[in-house]
Structure 1
Amino acid sequence: MSSRRKFLHKLTASVMAMPLLPLEGLAGAQPENPATEPLETQVSEAEPYQGPMLRVAIMGLGGYGTMVAEAMRACKKAQLVGVVSGTPSKVSAWQTRYRIPVKNCYNYQNFDEMVNNKDIDAVYVITPNGLHKDHVIRAAKAGKHVICEKPMAINAKEGQEMIDACKKAGVKLLVGYRIHFEPKTLEIIRMRNAGEFGKVMFFQGLSGFVIGDPKQWRLNKQLAGGGAMMDIGIYSVNGSRYMTGEEPVWVTAQETKTDKVKFAEGVDETIQFQLGFPSGAVASCLSTYSMNFLDRFFLTGEKGYAELNPSTGYGPIRGRTHKGELSFLHVTHQTVQMDEMAEIILNGKQPVVPVDGEEGLKDLKIIDAIYLAAKTGKKVTL
């Protein structure tokens, strides 16, 4: 995770400079041991998909939007058909690269007109956190299902407003929790549900990297809603919940800031936080923008343990338990995510771990409590 931002920057530049690639491009499935496990033998027998297709417009054509677009080349059930951007040159480049018709291209001023476009089913909002609420509500009013990148909003109040707006419009609201579909993560959840760890006692989540450009929007309180917690710390917040299988009932937190110029008022650099769960299990987590090599989840119970390291990076995820290494074919997370979300939106599929707006709201309520606990120095009851 330490090079996450640099990777996105390089990926965007290289992708937009390349000619159109075949489907296997950047988003193709990658076996963890290519020398002994050729991809062709893994997927050649799959039947062509004949079902309905979720037609998606991506809003926000930055680094992560590009990653999602590339991953969607390999999707069977979701298709990139539209874009929303305030940068005409990006729209033009994406039109060429992804064969997007002019009628499916919008900017931030006119995308409400999408209400008249029957060729777009859903909008994937990948804009700065502080813009999520407005963009999601406008997309919902245009009659489109919405997928919103995490965190869903900058606080729980805004998150609830987004949920209410989508319900009123009769559209679904999902959140970009790609790890909720990751096979090693799901195997640990299966093992926990089967009692293979016994009573869960403790979870540790470490999420952090050294952030670069001090002028980027992630260090702007108005656009980001905070600092590291609103970007990387949410992984440990969310992970503590799906790894333990419980919702926390209390929070304590401590903030550390070493650079008050780079990390201005309201922009957190490092927060350590602790969560207590109804069973008596506890979590100890770290969210930071000033330390590298932090992408690890650890769960221990009376009978065994599980570790993911890296736990939330773009892949492959590495996992092991007291029973040995976890081995599953790695497929680009966003490819799996978009196909699974197509199933949820089109066919009402229920995922193992929810990815709806209510799930996003639960994380926001915890983050609000973490900020309050760090500010007051007191335990906050949830």
Structure 2
Amino acid sequence: MSSRRRFLELSAAGAFALASPRLHAKDPMKKLGVALVGLGMYSTGQLGPALKQTKHCRLSAVVTGSPEKGRQWARDYGFPESSVYGYDTMGRLADNKDVDIVYVVTPPALHARDCIAAAKAGKHVLCEKPMEVSTAQCDVIINACKAAGVKLSIGYRLHFDPFHEELRKLVRSQEFGPFMTMTGGFAFSMQKAQWRAEKALAGGGPLMDLGIYVVQEACMAAGATPVAATATVHPKKRPEFFKDVEESISWTLEFPNGAKCESFTSYDAGRNDFRAEAKGGWFELKPAFNYGGIAGATSRGPLVIAGVNQQALQMDDFALCVLNGQESRVGGAMGRRDMAIVEAIYASAAGGGKRVEVR
């Protein structure tokens, strides 16, 4: 098959999957207001710029611990300074009719606090991954959103990337058969001390921050939730830096049909790949988990797919869910599922690598 034909085929498939029936909104011209909670690197480098490209939502407020920073965002994005809030004044969002969705981008251990505040203010909730630091806290978020009658979505941007949609398409069609052997890794070398290395805020080390992507990809490729995990924490090279979280960890996920995924993550290495093999063919991404510049191939040849703004598509999809009264494809149940998997991985590592069932 020519690369041109393959490009057209994948572009059409990706456009169909990413557009979805949700595009038939009751008011397709309406843009919903989004409040970003937390103005760190991800909001500054990715979400803010993406909101300038969205079709169905716009930035209308921010929540930050720095009023000065908030006022600068107001000037840069064209919303009133009265729509700058502190973490202790999030309740006032209830009075802001320009805010429909609150996107929580604070450290994981603060997600429940901020999601609850958003839900109580009557705003739909978009929570960054990982959903929280335990399944119990995930339940708190889910219950708060249900009680308030608001929708909940998790920031799994790769579900809106066409390279990853190609993997899901292969799983749905079973063109290669079931993927039985999988490997994946996501790692980088952390050079500066930050909250990601503090258990009180992050809930753990690279497994919570990076490994969650590999967990997600394995579930995509298997088309199922794993039944068990085994894991090993590697000796720390910089114990003074990673005092209460793991520095590197390997784990194996077992799926109901016997498929397995061998995985790795670290704050002291370099990896960014995923591969899935079946009897009839294979699928590979390298790099696999970037914001852009993903590259991949299957046993048929290279994947020639145009890049997208993952975050813009992710936020637009949730806006359309709100407009159409539909549930997010990456909702709270998925966020909780992944935390249950993470808990099993940590339990196995703490138990010397024993097999732990995912509950």
TM-score, with normalisation over the residues of structure 2?
Answer: 0.89
Residue of structure 2 equivalent to 1:381 = 357
Partner of 1:283: helix, strand, or coil?
strand
Match status 1:363 vs 2:338: yes
Residue of structure 2 equivalent to 1:234 = 212
Q: CA deviation at 1:350?
A: 6.1
Counterpart residue type for residue 346 of structure 2: Y
> What 5-or-longer segments of structure 2 have no aligned partner?
1-6, 8-26
Residue of structure 2 equivalent to 1:14 = none
Match status 1:295 vs 2:281: no
Residue of structure 2 equivalent to 1:342 = 319
Residue of structure 1 equivalent to 2:263 = 285
Residue of structure 2 equivalent to 1:44 = none
Q: CA deviation at 1:174?
A: 0.6
Is the 2:178–2:222 Cα contact (8 Å) retained in structure 1? Answer: no
> What 5-or-longer segments of structure 1 have no aligned partner?
1-32, 34-48
Partner of 2:277: helix, strand, or coil?
strand
Indicate the percent of aligned positions where both proteins have the same amino acid. Answer: 40
**CA-to-aligned-CA distance 1:135-158 (integer Å, 9 cap, x gap):** 011110110001011001011110
Partner of 2:340: helix, strand, or coil?
helix
Partner of 1:83: helix, strand, or coil?
strand
Counterpart CA distance in 2 for 1:159 and 1:138 is 15
Q: CA deviation at 1:301?
A: 0.4
Counterpart CA distance in 1 for 2:117 and 2:325 is 23
Determine which of 106, 110, 118 is the counterpart of 1:131: 110
Is the 2:31–2:57 Cα contact (8 Å) retained in structure 1? Answer: yes
Residue of structure 2 equivalent to 1:273 = 251
Partner of 2:33: helix, strand, or coil?
strand
Residue of structure 2 equivalent to 1:319 = 296
**CA-to-aligned-CA distance 1:225-266 (integer Å, 9 cap, x gap):** 11111111110111110121111001000001222111112x
User: How many residues end up aligned between the 2 structures?
Assistant: 330
Residue of structure 1 equivalent to 2:125 = 146
Counterpart CA distance in 2 for 1:222 and 1:199 is 39
Counterpart CA distance in 2 for 1:304 and 1:72 is 38
Q: CA deviation at 1:359?
A: 0.5
Q: CA deviation at 1:327?
A: 1.8
Is the 2:176–2:280 Cα contact (8 Å) retained in structure 1? Answer: yes
Counterpart residue type for residue 250 of structure 2: Q
Superposed structure 1 runs of 4+ greater than 2 Å apart? 49-52, 348-351
Partner of 1:273: helix, strand, or coil?
strand
For 1:156-175, list aligned pairs within 5 A: 156-175=135-154
Counterpart CA distance in 1 for 2:60 and 2:291 is 24
Q: CA deviation at 1:192?
A: 2.0
Partner of 1:258: helix, strand, or coil?
coil
**CA-to-aligned-CA distance 1:31-75 (integer Å, 9 cap, x gap):** xx9xxxxxxxxxxxxxxx952222100011111011201111011
TM-score, with normalisation over the residues of structure 1?
Answer: 0.84
For 1:185-196, list aligned pairs within 5 A: 185-196=164-175
Q: 1:305 to 1:350 in 2, by over 3 A?
A: farther
Counterpart residue type for residue 113 of structure 1: R
Partner of 1:310: helix, strand, or coil?
coil
Counterpart CA distance in 2 for 1:64 and 1:333 is 13
Counterpart residue type for residue 104 of structure 1: S
Residue of structure 2 equivalent to 1:54 = 32
Counterpart CA distance in 2 for 1:185 and 1:106 is 36
Is the 2:286–2:295 Cα contact (8 Å) retained in structure 1? Answer: yes
Partner of 2:183: helix, strand, or coil?
strand
**CA-to-aligned-CA distance 1:9-35 (integer Å, 9 cap, x gap):** xxxxxxxxxxxxxxxxxxxxxxxx9xx
Residue of structure 2 equivalent to 1:304 = 281
Match status 1:176 vs 2:152: no
Counterpart residue type for residue 88 of structure 1: P
Is the 1:184–1:327 Cα contact (8 Å) retained in structure 2? Answer: no
